[in-house]
Amino acid sequence: MGRVVRSPSSWLFWLIVIALGAAVAYVAGEKRAHDITPPPASGAPIAGRARVIDGDTIEILGQRIRLFGIDAPESRQQCRTGSGREYPCGRVATRALTAAIRGSRISCTPVDHDRYDRDVAICAAGGHDLGDVMVRSGNAIDYRRYISRTRE
Q: What is the pLDDT of residues 27-85, one digit of tens each?
A: 555 444 545 455 555 678 999 999 999 999 999 999 999 999 999 999 999 999 889 99
Is 78 a member of any domain? Answer: yes
pLDDT top residue among 55 and 4:
55
Number of domains into which the chain is organized: 1
Is 132 a member of any domain? Answer: yes
Is 17 a member of any domain? Answer: no
Range of the domain at 122: 46-149
Is 32 a member of any domain? Answer: no
Close Cβ partners of 33 (under 8 Å, ≥ 6 residues apart) = 132, 135, 136, 142
Whichever domain contains 53, its CATH number is 2.40.50.90
Is 12 a member of any domain? Answer: no
pLDDT top residue among 80 and 24:
80
C-alpha gyration radius of the chain: 22
Per residue in 75-115, pLDDT tens? 999 999 889 999 999 999 999 999 999 989 999 999 998 88
Is 25 a member of any domain? Answer: no
Are 50 and 66 in contact, with CB atoms under 8 Å apart? no
Is 116 a member of any domain? Answer: yes
Is 105 a member of any domain? Answer: yes
